[in-house]
Structure 1
Amino acid sequence: MTFPLEPIVMVSTLDGPQLELTLWARMCDEALAAGDRMITLFGRVAPHDTVCVTAVLLGAEGPLRVLRAHAPRGASFSSLTPRHPCMQMFERELWEQTGLTPEGHPWLKPVRFEGARQQRMTAYPFFSVRGHDVHEVGVGPIHASVIEPGHFRFMCHGERVQHLEIQLGYQHRGVEALLLQRPPHALTSLVETVVGDSSIAYAWGYCTALEVLSGVQAGARAELVRGVALELERVAMHLSSLTGLTTDAAFLQGGATYGRLRTAVINASMRVCGSRFGRGWLRPGGVRFGITETLRQDLRHTLGLVAKDIAEVNDLVLKARSVRSRLRGVGILSTQAAREIGMVGLAGRASDVGFDTRAALPGRLYQAHPVAALTETTGDCWSRMKLRMREIDASLGWVADVLEQPGLDVPTAQILPQGMLRPNTLCVSLREGFRGPVVQILETGADGHLVHHKVQDPSMLNWFGVALAMRENAISDFPICNKSFDLSYCGNDI
């Protein structure tokens, strides 16, 4: 690797220290107390009825580092959540998937109802707010519009929400087990459908991990094309979010215009690779489709028109009194709360948590073509809307600069060696999708075959932020608040 701050790390599972569970928990505690960010924490049931636990941390100066431990199934450790609330979802998932118990966890509930819990969703232990004038309102899992299944339980005093509890897991698909059923070199087409609106982010992260495990590095020009693909995806999906948000705020001119512009962007991607969502564009070893001179001119023209129209509609939206009245001060997630619960991506940056892996772990691409981590400070629906506008502008500018680079008409992806991957290796790969960092971990065994493929969507870490943001808001504010975060249901129910 050329630069130390790569969005990827590879470690030997034989050479690294295998910690005892209590010591591992204490080291994680010390790292978090020192200001490190927990990127992911997960477990894998290993042979001989043991559990291998992995934590991936990122310090203020980087790079990524890995802490691993082994423990017998049924073991327990002192929960980190009371001291570090950002750990609550990680520990719940670890408990559900492996049986390791974080003793003292204040909110130990199933995440996806995996395994034996699949038929017990009706037994979910909802929190209860007591009081003579408190009533509960349930929404879903069958919704009144085209939306994925999720249940929202509001505890209200009059119209004011005292607490919101979100229960997901209705469409748990067993993605991680499915990803082990195909040869790794044939997985990309499946990986890019794990969360359909983040196809490029998932595909790029997987391709990079597979390349590292195969001893291959994609060319610099192919990385530029991958960057263009990712930023086009970011622009398109932010426009989709703005479409829904302005429509829910009854500013239909904005909703109609943002929707039209999104179509222009995804159609531009389709003209390059044949898919509006970029599927099939990226493959291990590089890209299947370069940007020819004709396509370069097409993208310049299309994105130039899009930028002009976005500026006009943004100005209308930001000046509209009805939009300001509807979004300002609604759904506030404070900076302190966002930091404590570990918010990531745009939802975190809108609450002034300036974490963007493109800036924190730039690698060779973003080192050469930097991206600034943009933030807003108020943490409300207005802040999340405004930040999407700013990130769209930044991505359009970034793509325009990259399109000036020569050699984007790169050849098709090189064929990776079809032999076994690097044995006894753990590879952690991140890519900053439009919601936040998409994390994938590939682990190989002694024979070079995959023994674990961990997938983590940023939505899993951010849903609790929606629940906190709804407190002390009117229940009628929920559609706007929910859309301002624009999280993925299937991204949680992996």
Structure 2
Amino acid sequence: MAPGLSKFHSGEPVPLRSVPDLSIGEFRTAILSAVNSTRSLAALFGMPAGDRHVRLIAVVADSVTNSLSILSTKVGESYPCLTLECPQAHWFEREIAEQWQVHPDGHPWLKPIRFHAPYRTGNSSSPAPVAGVTDFFAMAGPEVHEVAVGPVHAGIIEPGHFRFQCHGEDVFHLEISLGYQHRGVERALVGGPGKRTIHLMETLCGDTSIGHATAYCEAIEALGGTAVSARAQVLRGVALELERLANHTGDLGALAGDVGYLPAAAYCGRIRGNFLNLTAELCGSRFGRGLIRPGGVGFDVDKPLIAKLQERLAAALKDVEDALGLLWDAPSVQARFEHTGTITRETCEALGIVGPAARACGIERDIRQDFPSGIFRFAQIPISKWHSGDVFARAWLRWLEIQRSGAFVREQFASMPDGPILSPAGTLPADHLVVSFVEGWRGEICHVAITDANGRFAHYKIVDPSFHNWMGLAMAMRNQQVSDFPLCNKSFNLSYCGHDL
């Protein structure tokens, strides 16, 4: 942790007056000295500070001490950028420039990431971002050409634009342009929490409804001092791992389909539905909507339902083992997976990549271990990792996690504690901040809630794991064949709407 900075913890309410308010020079020095292989920039964002200033707030997470540094500074129209010395700040600083019209001087590619109107208006003297929606990084040279994909794709898929700089079939650079379905979720949360807040959380990234709802509920429970029962914590953990099981299985089937291996693709597509149906048995929704609620969970289980779920889970785990046995035993599949879309450990650390993509590079980074909350404070899932950083590693990592998540769910069902499932929510304190972490199936989910003088949300920041990882996909495509893009893309399977919010 940077010298002189206070240490906080995930889920610990912090009075705003306790957050160090530094000069911009001190702020930069603190971040640059803190971020390294074991300390990551979990969040960096702006919020209004009056007098035509913007308050920048940074959250640095230390996976060794399981602690956080939260620091802030006030800036006017510009400040010296962090990105050149701390690549993890790249995407965050582009977001700050777009939202608040604050120019990070020296940023190498200051282009909006969502292309929406700035939150701060009437600041005509503030420099605009240097690149717009139609501006793309370009290379020049004999036989260098561009390949453009999207934003409208062939099939039912969310919009995103990919611009490849190529020499023949070889990709020199990939630029990813998103923001086509920006919904303004963070802005809609200001003034809450209210009746709509939990529904916004469940739908801001539909395939991670459990993960984001859990992060939100843990944030306001921490602020309000709400004690969640052991039974509710177990049900939350089970739901989170069922979400992981369904999505990892679906991804492995899609990867099989991308290399034309149809047996595993067909089997995994069906088995993914079986895992989703287990969540539906819990709460009536295949995506877990309605299950996670402030104070606990909205649905309980009885012994007959647990027995039914255990039986169906065992069958689904056996089916996925058989289907993936076909995948791993096929030399043609391994030939396409191995040495494709490789990211080095050094690149992964520099970019702050999270989740399975990081663990596939040999980095033991997992919120369930580093910043455990809920049931994960008492029941650990062994951390899976691989070392090669390629498509094979990201696929194999998913299989390892399927086995361990499956074992965890079965153990929790077998030892379900008694008790209530819902506790009354407490009142949120005024002028406080809390950071909530959850390890979603894509990786680190970070929610930062800040209350005003009335105990309402003055600001709410959400960092979906995709926000950290899109640049990782761009790096994975360097020196690859352009035809490898579908396979590399699916090996990350990042969220458009989770990024666009």
TM-score (norm 1): 0.94
1:61 equivalenced with 2:70 (yes/no): no
1:273 equivalenced with 2:276 (yes/no): no
Amino acid aligned to 1:414: S
Q: Give 1:481's aligned residue.
A: 488
Separation in structure 2 between the aligned mates of residue 50 and residue 235 of structure 1, nearest angstrom? 45
Pick the aligned partner of 1:39 from 39, 42, 46: 42
Amino acid aligned to 1:242: L
Pick the aligned partner of 1:447 from 443, 450, 454: 454
> How many residues were matched structurally?
487
1:111 equivalenced with 2:113 (yes/no): yes
1:82 equivalenced with 2:91 (yes/no): no
Q: Give 2:158's aligned residue.
A: 148
Pick the aligned partner of 2:463 from 456, 459, 468: 456
Q: Give 1:375's aligned residue.
A: 385
Separation in structure 2 between the aligned mates of residue 439 and residue 60 of structure 1, nearest angstrom? 14
Separation in structure 2 between the aligned mates of residue 223 and residue 327 of structure 1, nearest angstrom? 37
Pick the aligned partner of 2:362 from 348, 352, 355: 352
1:283 equivalenced with 2:293 (yes/no): yes
Q: CA deviation at 1:84?
A: 2.0
Q: Give 1:198's aligned residue.
A: 208
Amino acid aligned to 1:18: D
Deviates more, 1:364-373 or 1:436-445: 364-373
Deviates more, 1:55-64 or 1:196-205: 55-64
SS at match of 1:97: helix
Separation in structure 1 between the aligned mates of residue 132 and residue 439 of structure 2, nearest angstrom? 35
SS at match of 1:348: helix
Matches within 5 A, 1:3-22: 7-22=10-25
Q: Give 1:100's aligned residue.
A: 102
Q: CA deviation at 1:50?
A: 2.1
In structure 2, relative to structure 1, the CA distance for the partners of 1:307 and 1:414 (3 Å cut) is same
Q: Give 2:420's aligned residue.
A: 411
Q: Give 2:3's aligned residue.
A: none
Deviations 1:197-231 (A, max 9, x none): 00000111111111111121211221111000000
Q: CA deviation at 1:193?
A: 0.7
Q: CA deviation at 1:412?
A: 4.0
In structure 2, relative to structure 1, the CA distance for the partners of 1:37 and 1:72 (3 Å cut) is closer
1:175 equivalenced with 2:175 (yes/no): no
Q: Give 1:424's aligned residue.
A: 431
Separation in structure 2 between the aligned mates of residue 190 and residue 93 of structure 1, nearest angstrom? 21
Do the aligned residues in 2 keep the contact of 1:211 with 1:217 (CA within 8 Å)? yes
Separation in structure 1 between the aligned mates of residue 104 and residue 132 of structure 2, nearest angstrom? 24
Separation in structure 2 between the aligned mates of residue 337 and residue 389 of structure 1, nearest angstrom? 24
Matches within 5 A, 1:293-372: 293-363=303-373, 365-372=375-382
Separation in structure 1 between the aligned mates of residue 66 and residue 325 of structure 2, nearest angstrom? 40
In structure 2, relative to structure 1, the CA distance for the partners of 1:123 and 1:489 (3 Å cut) is closer
Q: CA deviation at 1:12?
A: 0.7
SS at match of 1:14: helix
Amino acid aligned to 1:86: Q
Q: Give 1:187's aligned residue.
A: 197
In structure 2, relative to structure 1, the CA distance for the partners of 1:175 and 1:406 (3 Å cut) is closer
Q: CA deviation at 1:149?
A: 0.7
Matches within 5 A, 1:128-277: 128-180=138-190, 182-184=192-194, 186-277=196-287
Q: CA deviation at 1:261?
A: 0.8
Do the aligned residues in 1 keep the contact of 2:111 with 2:130 (CA within 8 Å)? no
In structure 2, relative to structure 1, the CA distance for the partners of 1:144 and 1:406 (3 Å cut) is closer
Do the aligned residues in 1 keep the contact of 2:241 with 2:409 (CA within 8 Å)? yes
Identity of aligned residues (%): 39
Give the root-mean-square deviation of aligned CA atoms.
2.1
In structure 2, relative to structure 1, the CA distance for the partners of 1:6 and 1:281 (3 Å cut) is farther
Q: Give 2:123's aligned residue.
A: none
Deviates more, 1:156-165 or 1:111-120: 111-120
Deviates more, 1:176-185 or 1:460-469: 176-185
Do the aligned residues in 1 keep the contact of 2:144 with 2:167 (CA within 8 Å)? yes
TM-score (norm 2): 0.93
In structure 2, list runs of 5 or more residues that go unmatched. 1-6, 120-127
Deviations 1:360-384 (A, max 9, x none): 1123522311122211111111111
Q: CA deviation at 1:256?
A: 0.8
Separation in structure 2 between the aligned mates of residue 65 and residue 347 of structure 1, nearest angstrom? 23
SS at match of 1:53: strand
Q: Give 1:386's aligned residue.
A: 396
Amino acid aligned to 2:169: E
In structure 1, list runs of 5 or more residues that go unmatched. none
Do the aligned residues in 2 keep the contact of 1:137 with 1:156 (CA within 8 Å)? yes
Do the aligned residues in 2 keep the contact of 1:52 with 1:68 (CA within 8 Å)? no
SS at match of 1:234: helix
Separation in structure 1 between the aligned mates of residue 174 and residue 63 of structure 2, nearest angstrom? 33
Do the aligned residues in 2 keep the contact of 1:161 with 1:473 (CA within 8 Å)? yes
Q: CA deviation at 1:35?
A: 4.6
Separation in structure 2 between the aligned mates of residue 121 and residue 91 of structure 1, nearest angstrom? 14
Q: Give 2:29's aligned residue.
A: 26
Do the aligned residues in 2 keep the contact of 1:6 with 1:362 (CA within 8 Å)? no
